[in-house]
Amino acid sequence: MAVENINPVFFLESIGSLAIVLGLIIAYRKRGVTFAVLVVSAVSYFLAIGLKSVIQHFTLGSMDATFGYSSIPTALYLGAQTAVLEVFGAYLFALYFRNHIRQKNAQAYGLSLAFWENGILLGILPLISLVADYLIIASGPSSLSSLVSGELHKSSPGLFLGTFQALPYVGYSVLERISSLLMHFSWGFLVVSAVTFRKRLYVAIAVPMGFVDSIVPFAGILGLPLTEAVFFIIGLVALFVALVVRKNIEENNKIGGNVENTVGPK
């Protein structure tokens, strides 16, 4: 008896996420994407994610038991972790490696942070896992293929939806990755600008962007379409703020010459 397999349309989630950020990284290869930027952003991002995982392992259960998962305290708890560990952490790394990450790398730094999340952690790694499961199930009737299919039916039943049912979920997933890209790009640009021009205001603007993750506990209440719409709108607002700061920097450069060279980081 044939075992039902994963709908391969779900491969598009990871492929789409990877394609978008990888395309931008390639496009920016002559506009500030350097080996140093990629390495520093990788260490900053994965260290933050690792610390978040450890913190949540020991404390999320208590927060859920005390306040409930879909609650304001839990929302602030999750948002604060992203704000401090990811955003402020990215600033500290940019500050420490300020000789390797200059203002010309500001946009590339933000894109690189997005690349590690959307291209690697939520792009190629899930794709490899999904393809492996698909191939195991497709290999034919066996105890292993039945086991994998059975486990996936329990943990991720949506993977077996028909194509027309699955496409909206794929679309929302890709939209979420675009929203994530906008957020990482924006706060990455701002924290490098804060280092270059010694503007703590830019850090103060960037850090609250991390509270976008405060929406996560309410996703079940809001529903998928509204949740993704809110994420996207916040991403657009973050991008708008970053572009306003960039315009201000460019105007100051025209008035005062090359501000990066005259002021310099400290």
pTM (global) more than 0.85: yes
Length reported for the chain: 266
pLDDT at position 94: 97
The Cα–Cα gap between 76 and 154 comes to 31
Residue segments in the chain with a per-residue pLDDT below the cut of 50:
261-266
The Cα–Cα gap between 216 and 74 comes to 10
pLDDT at position 143: 84
Residue 46: CB partners within 8 Å, gap ≥ 6? 116
Cβ pair 25, 123 in contact under 8 A? no
pLDDT at position 264: 36
Residue in the structure block whose two tokens are 């600008």: 193
The Cα–Cα gap between 103 and 170 comes to 36
End-to-end CA distance of the chain, in Å?
A: 68
pLDDT at position 3: 76
pLDDT at position 252: 85
pLDDT at position 261: 40
pLDDT at position 139: 86
The Cα–Cα gap between 188 and 253 comes to 20
Would residue 198 be called left, alpha or beta, if left means φ above 0 and alpha means ψ between -120 and 50 degrees? Answer: left
pLDDT at position 141: 77
* Helices 11-27 + 163-197 axis angle, to 10: 30
